[in-house]
Structure formats: C-alpha cells, structure tokens
Structure 1
Amino acid sequence: MEAADVLWAELTAGSAVPTASAAFTSFPADGRRGYVLLADRVVTTGQVGSDRWSVLAVEVGRAAADLTAMEMDRQDLVRIGPFGGPKREPGEGILLRWRERVTRKLQASGNSGQDARGEGGRLSHLAGIDWRRVLVERTSDGGGRAWWLPRALVRLLDAAEHAERQWLHATQNRTKVAELSSLFGQARAADGRERKSGPTTALRPYNGELKDHVYSVLSRKPGIARKVAEWACAVWGIASASVLDHCHEHGYVRAPVCQSCNTHERPDHLYSNDIRVAGHYRRLFDTHPADWLRHWHRCSGCRARTTLPLPHLAAWTAYTACRPLRPTHPAPRGRKPCGSLRVSWTGSHNAPRSCLFTVSVDLCPSGEHRVLARVPYREAAERFGAWLAEIAPEVAAAAGPDRLDGLPAQSRPVIADTSSGGLELF
C-alpha cells in the first residue's frame, strides 16, 4: 500500500484535481475492506500475508489516467453545505457520503484552514482527492458560513459515491447468492429434489406515489429516508434514490432522486436572487430537456401554471432566450462566447407584474460588464410555454390552468423561506 501511495502521487502529479499523497494508507482508505476508492473508480485489494494487502498497479494507473484527463474550473463553484436536516452517525468509511464527511470535518475544526483529520489524527481525504486545497469558505452578512467546491469536483465525488454504493450492493448480492447456493445445495443433497431461489429484491420504479404531497409534512414522517431509498432515481432510474426533490416555491414533492441528480438540477446561486448560468445548464436545456421538464412539472403548482420555479425560469431565460444576444471574442479556433453569463431578478413570482429578469455578462476579456436584456417575468413565462410545447409536447399537454383537477381542494401556501428547520433537503 505504501508503494501504491507513491505510484498514485507520481501518476497524478499533473492533474487539475489535487490528490492526496497517502490515498491508500490514510483515513478513510482501508485495504482490508477489499477495495479502495480512487476518484470515481473502485479498485479491489487482495491479502498477500497475515496483515499485508496489495493492489494491482494497472488499476491505479487506470484511475490516475481518468483523473488527469479531467478539466476543472476553480471559479465555477457549487455550495456543498451546510444545508441542515437530520444528522447521521459517522460511518466507518462505508459509504463515502462525502458531503457529510466534509461538513463534519469543517464543523469540528472550526476553521477550514486547519487540517481536517480523521480517526487517530490521520489526514482525511476523499477518494484519493485532497479537497481542502480547493475548498472555498464564504461568510454571509449574518455571520453564517457556507462551503463551496468546484462543480467538476462535486460531480466526481458524486460519481465516486455512486460507484462505491453499486460495488457494495453487487458484493452483498454475490455473498447472498453464494450463501443461498450453499443452503440449496445442502437441501438438494438431503431430499434429492431441485429447488429454485426466490426473486432478488430490486429498486422500485417511481410511479407518482408522492404526487401532491407537501415536503414540509412528508419529510417529518418517521422512516421516510429509508422508504425513499427503496425507490430508483425518478430521473435516470439506475441509481438508488437518496433525497426527496421538491419545489421550493410551491412546497410540493417532485420525486425521489439520487444525490447526483439533485445536485445537478439545483441552480447555481451566487446570492438569493442571482444565478451564474454555467455549462451544466446545457444538459438541462439542450441534451436531455424532456427528462428534466417532466421532472420539474411533477410539482402541481408549476404544472398548473405552465412554468418553472423562479430560479429555473431565470436560468432558462438567460441560457435559451438570450443566448443569441451574447457577444463573442476572437479565439484561436473561431470565436468564443464572452465572459460568464449571469441572471438576476427583482420581485417575486407571487407578483409577476413587478418581477423582472436582468441577463448580463461578467468577466468580459475586454473589461466590459454589459447587460444583454431585461425580460419581464410574464414575457419569460410565455416564451417558456411556447418552448415547452415544442420540446416536450406531452409535458405541455398535461400543464395549464385547465389542469387543476389534480390539485387539492384547499390551496397550499407558498413557502417563501426554505432556510428554516425541516424545509431544506435532508
């Protein structure tokens, strides 16, 4: 394992993602579990002595090659906490649960500049990555702290957590199959009859069981986190769900989703009414728009009003409706879009006549900071309705003011403040 540490450090020396110098021998890595997590790969380990464990160098090389090929923009940040919600007891390295680990380490140290250490004072890393070197801490006017990491690193750690969960699930299944085979083999030897094993437990597809439920009520029910984990992610359907995604404006549950999807669709807030329109919106509005639109319109309030929550509508307006207005600059290969796209708004969706989106460009290479457009909320909503009918006609057909029959008889209050206890994502 000491030699693997040296190899990992050498192979990732030129990576944009900072790596730990002791990826195999420092907490929480432990080869005795049968695997070590490197970036988004699960590298298996084997016992070669009474207390010695080894790993194949070729597996380390593959993980290092994937990592060094990654690009990371250190200015494109995503808030990773703290978000509140119920706390779970510290794990023994299974599963990674990297957000909980980071929050726990930073809260314990009281200062993000101090070393975040694990058991016995050993340095703590995440899947071989030294996250402390790219962590950004910001303090609000009220004195509260918030921690941010580059978006590319957040995606990588989400993928690592998903890969570890899948590996453990497959290992547990193989163990169960081996045990069942042994038991059935003994039974066949005893009575001479062939027996078949029963069906294995699979994740349930989500079929709208939580439609019209209010998140602030449902999230307080005992055992809801365990029930959520029984569903497959309602967006991609391949991973186990871990959170209940909900509309922060209307308060309705959308669906159970995996942590990766929940992070991916969350707008990148700079302030409470300001969003940086980064590259991940390309997937939401260009590559797989019908999937996300179907998911967002699981909220009864958004579906009845044929619109999106205010931050999502603002991002859509900036990315889709105002993209042709964005200036470009000469680049080695053609022309490059100017600076960083940003959208802010005044007012609220509750007062659409006074709500206004302002789309602008920051960090212009020529030193300009220019406003591209000012779009009233109602105009943006009308544009979105037309785009929705073109991109996802099935979703548009289920929306509109004449589709109120599925809503509760008594209207739900709009939740304006989602920072109080019990309303944030758990």
Structure 2
Amino acid sequence: MARHRQNIANTRPLDLMTCSGGTLFLPRAYSELLDRWEQMEENLVDRARTCSRCSAQGPRWGGWRTQTPLGYVTLCPPCSGATFQRYTGHLRGVMYDSRRMRGTRADDYLCRLCAETRAAAWDHCHDHGYLRGPLCGSCNTFEGKSAPRHFLEEKEGAALHLLECRGCLEARTLPGRYHVGIVQKHLETTERHRLRSRPCRRQPWARHVELAHGAHRFELECWRHSTTWTKDVTVPDTLALVRDFVDQALAAQPGTVTVPAQAALGTTTRA
C-alpha cells in the first residue's frame, strides 16, 4: 500500500512504470507531462523574482516579495524605496496602543531595518509599550521569534532599532529578554580557563543555566580541552553590561555623545 501513496508532481506514476534490464521506463505522454510541469514551475518562479516596476531579477526564493492590499507583488529595493515612505522617527515616544497609532498604517512605510521592502507591522517594545518603528514581516518575525543574541549580532542596526523605544533609551537598557545574550557574548569574549600557567586561547561556549539568589549562572565549555566551569553574574552586573552595550551602540551612531558605563564585574567562578 505504501507505493500507492508515493507521487511525482501530485500524480502516482508507479503503476505506469515498467522495468527492463534494471532501468525504469515511463510512457512518453507521462514524461512530457512532467516536463511541462517543471517548465511551468520555472516560469512561476521567474515571474515571482522579477520586479514589477523595472523588471530586475531578484533572488530565486523570497527576498523581494511584498504584500499589498491587492496581493503580493515583487519590488526590488530601489523601487521599494521610491514607492514607500521612509520612517524618520516622527512617532518616537508614542505608545503602541495610543489613539494616535490606530489611524497610522505601517504599510505606508519602508521597513526600518532592512530598508528593502514594504513594512507590514508596527514593532513596539513589550517592556515599556513604546513604538519602535515599521518592520516588514521578515524583520518583525526575526526580532520576535529568533534568539535575542542572533538578532543583535546578525541584523545590522538592531540595537539602535530597539533603542527607538523611549523607555529603553532613557534607562540606557534593552528589553529584558536580551540581557542574557549580552552577558553570554561578554563571557565568551573575556573568560578563559587556565592550562597550567597560561590561559587557554580558545573562546569558550557559554550557556545560561538559571537565575537564582540574584545572580545569573552560566556554564562555560571549552570544546578543545573538554573543560567546563560555571560563572555567576549578579543582576546589577548584568544591568551594567547591558548599559555598556547600549552606550557603545549609541557612541557608534554619528553625532551621539554618551557617558561610558563600564563597570567592574564582581562575579564568582566555580570550577
């Protein structure tokens, strides 16, 4: 019965096959049907990756597709930039659930992060409730569903986008779910176990274990030497590291002056 559930191009060809000398043969008409199906699929992919304004060819899968009230269209980044408004921060400090937001459409704007496609939703800070800006579906999903550390490391301008929240900016912090990722990166950059009289040169991998008694506990592992150890980082030290991260992000923005917030870590190590 299993063979009857197998299909090619939504058809079940196995009963049509014949075997001769270890080779499978299909009727000519069926082979031509498969060829036409493959050609139709290729034509649809080409249409989906062709900009509807300038006919430029985009990536084979996804990339330039953007949603409109009449359905999905394909627009290259230059055509998207010419079609949709660029968000200039004029709604900074507005609460996401305010009356002012209800009449403002996100899809009138270009995505604030990738700046390549039409925005689909207003992104906001769940900790403070302030609006951050318009994002396309892909960037909005990446911010909400990916590991926080990956969002900060892989999406250009991610930290500055999060700081569009007035509450985060004034407190020089980021939403709570990003704190562990920032400490993980710090520990992997600075922590090393010792090999006799010298520290190991290999960067360890840090894993968050728990938050207990006012401290985040991390387990660090050097795969090269099969060595593990733990590191406790207190909540105040975690906040200091996040503040330092924010100050560095703001300092990298042209025309921004910030006060350094680097603090010595009073951490505890357990071998």
Structure 1 residue aligned with 2:164, among 282, 290, 298?
Answer: 298
Asked whether 1:360 is paired with 2:228, we answer no
Structure 1 residue aligned with 2:73, among 158, 165, 169?
Answer: 169
Answer whether contact 1:317 1:380 (CA < 8 A) is retained. yes
Answer whether contact 1:303 1:399 (CA < 8 A) is retained. no
Structure 1 residue aligned with 2:177, among 311, 328, 331?
Answer: 311
Asked whether 1:242 is paired with 2:120, we answer yes
Asked whether 1:212 is paired with 2:93, we answer yes
Report matched runs for 1:347-386 at 5 Å: 355-360=214-219, 370-371=229-230, 373-386=231-244
CA displacement at 1:262 relative to structure 2 = 2.0
Q: Between 235-244 and 201-210, report the one with greater CA deviation.
A: 201-210
Answer whether contact 2:247 2:258 (CA < 8 A) is retained. no
Answer whether contact 1:314 1:344 (CA < 8 A) is retained. no
Answer whether contact 1:304 1:399 (CA < 8 A) is retained. no
Q: Relative to structure 1, is the Cα distance of residues 335 and 219 closer, same or farther in structure 2, using a 3 angstrom cutoff? A: farther
AA of the residue aligned to 2:90: E
Residue aligned with 1:360, SS: strand
Taking the aligned partners of 1:343 and 1:266, their CA distance within structure 2 comes to 22
Answer whether contact 2:120 2:136 (CA < 8 A) is retained. yes
CA displacement at 1:56 relative to structure 2 = 3.2
AA of the residue aligned to 2:93: D
CA displacement at 1:361 relative to structure 2 = 5.0
Report matched runs for 1:20-39 at 5 Å: 25=10
Residue in structure 2 matched with residue 255 of structure 1 by the alignment: 133
How many matched pairs?
A: 205
Aligned-CA RMSD value: 4.9
Answer whether contact 1:305 1:399 (CA < 8 A) is retained. no
Q: Relative to structure 1, is the Cα distance of residues 260 and 219 closer, same or farther in structure 2, using a 3 angstrom cutoff? A: farther
TM-score, normalising length: structure 2: 0.56
Q: Relative to structure 1, is the Cα distance of residues 399 and 257 closer, same or farther in structure 2, using a 3 angstrom cutoff? A: farther
Taking the aligned partners of 1:315 and 1:379, their CA distance within structure 2 comes to 14
Taking the aligned partners of 1:398 and 1:297, their CA distance within structure 2 comes to 15
Identity %: 19
AA of the residue aligned to 1:284: L
- Specify which structure has the bigger relative contact order, considering alpha-carbon pairs within 8 angstroms and separated by 6 or more residues: 1
Please list every run of 5 or more consecutive structure 2 residues that lacks an aligned counterpart in the other structure: 1-5, 12-31, 49-59, 76-80, 194-200, 260-271
Taking the aligned partners of 1:21 and 1:391, their CA distance within structure 2 comes to 53
Taking the aligned partners of 1:358 and 1:388, their CA distance within structure 2 comes to 22
Taking the aligned partners of 1:57 and 1:365, their CA distance within structure 2 comes to 51
Residue aligned with 1:165, SS: strand
Structure 2 residue aligned with 1:56, among 16, 39, 58?
Answer: 39
Taking the aligned partners of 2:210 and 2:110, their CA distance within structure 1 comes to 35
Taking the aligned partners of 2:190 and 2:246, their CA distance within structure 1 comes to 19
> Per-residue displacement from partner, 1:195-240 (whole Å, max 9, x unpaired)?
xxxxx9701111113211212336983x65xx11121111111011
Residue aligned with 1:386, SS: helix
Residue aligned with 1:358, SS: strand
Taking the aligned partners of 2:184 and 2:89, their CA distance within structure 1 comes to 31
CA displacement at 1:399 relative to structure 2 = 6.6
Taking the aligned partners of 2:214 and 2:7, their CA distance within structure 1 comes to 51
Taking the aligned partners of 1:312 and 1:267, their CA distance within structure 2 comes to 12
Taking the aligned partners of 2:203 and 2:188, their CA distance within structure 1 comes to 16
TM-score, normalising length: structure 1: 0.38
Asked whether 1:231 is paired with 2:231, we answer no
CA displacement at 1:355 relative to structure 2 = 4.9
Answer whether contact 2:142 2:151 (CA < 8 A) is retained. no
Please list every run of 5 or more consecutive structure 1 residues that lacks an aligned counterpart in the other structure: 1-19, 27-47, 64-93, 95-158, 172-199, 269-277, 328-333, 347-353, 401-426
Taking the aligned partners of 1:266 and 1:323, their CA distance within structure 2 comes to 26
